Amino acid sequence: MSESRESRPRRFLVCEPRHFAVQYAINPWMNPDRPVDVDLAREQWQELIRTYRAHGHTVDAVEPVPGLPDMVFAANAACVVGGRVFGSLFHAPERRPESLHYDTWFKAAGYTVYRPEAVSEGEGDLVWTGRYVLAGTGFRTTREAHREAQEFLGHPVIGLTLVDPYFYHLDTALFVLDDANVCYYPEAFSPGSREVLRRLFPDAVEATREDAMSWGLNSVSDGRHVFIAPQAEALSERLADHGYVPVPVDLSEFHKAGGGIKCCTQEIR
């Protein structure tokens, strides 16, 4: 059945975890007393980059900055649609300096960057579907940022309310499979938001809490291949049944900071 799915070459922006650490706690996954194996994190991250390139995708990199341990989570830095870069204003003061370094990279690459006035955490909460932007709120990105994103990007923005602190970003509870469909964990959303998702995506692949806690929803799809945490075995099987090709990549060391494959991957459109 996988033959019916078509992959499309993507361009990704990443940041090497040279300074990765858990030095503070800003989500339920983080514990500064739990040691991080930086060498293992770098090996896992390098394997992700090799895997992307082996599947025909282009990967660019931002230079990591000392003192910014979460800069590896490139997805949170911006949402890029049609060459327009909607930047970030992080909720946590510890992460706010990251925005400047990503903005600098985008500007040097020739992009116009919009800096939001309201708290907004890039693709962590702003997910492009190919037709509109799904926008998470409840823990980080604010509804006012949704309005700013719509004005700047010029595409409809559909707000979704997150209700489970373990899934504090939209990209921990939902990912886009292709231009027509998504995969998501319904109970991460408010009742009204679940109804919106059911109406928009009646054929969506629905995930369980176990799938979500295994970081299966912090995945990246190119339309055919789904780069997914190997811990999410049941979800991988379900995706395969729907014609997608799971590509397991272990980023378990980053789970200690509340991040995974998608968190480490900014898509440039």
Residue 3: pLDDT over 90: no
Reported as a pLDDT band with limits 50, 70 and 90, residue 1 is very low
By C-alpha distance, which of 122, 134, 130 is closest to 91?
122
Confirm if 205 and 234 have CB atoms less than 8 A apart. no
pTM: 0.98
pLDDT of residue 14: 99
Sketch the domain layout of the chain as residue ranges: 11-268
By C-alpha distance, which of 224, 229, 260, 253 is closest to 240?
224
Is residue 169 flagged as an active site residue? yes
Residue 63: pLDDT over 80: yes
Select which of 169, 183, 255, 264 is catalytic.
Answer: 169
By C-alpha distance, which of 205, 263, 209, 258 is closest to 232?
209
Residue 75: Cβ within 10 Å count: 30
pLDDT of residue 4: 77
**Which superfamily is assigned to 11-268 in CATH?**
L-arginine/glycine Amidinotransferase; Chain A (3.75.10.10)
Strand-pairing partners, residue 247, are: 227
Q: If 0-12 CB within 10 Å is exposed, 13-18 middle and 19+ buried, where does residue 123 land?
A: buried
Is residue 263 flagged as an active site residue? yes
Reported as a pLDDT band with limits 50, 70 and 90, residue 155 is very high
pLDDT tens digits for range 219-237: 999 999 999 999 999 999 9
Mean pLDDT of 84-106: 98
Confirm if 99 and 88 have CB atoms less than 8 A apart. yes
pLDDT tens digits for range 24-45: 999 999 999 999 999 999 999 9
Reported as a pLDDT band with limits 50, 70 and 90, residue 13 is very high
Select which of 15, 79, 183, 263 is catalytic.
Answer: 263
Confirm if 268 and 12 have CB atoms less than 8 A apart. yes
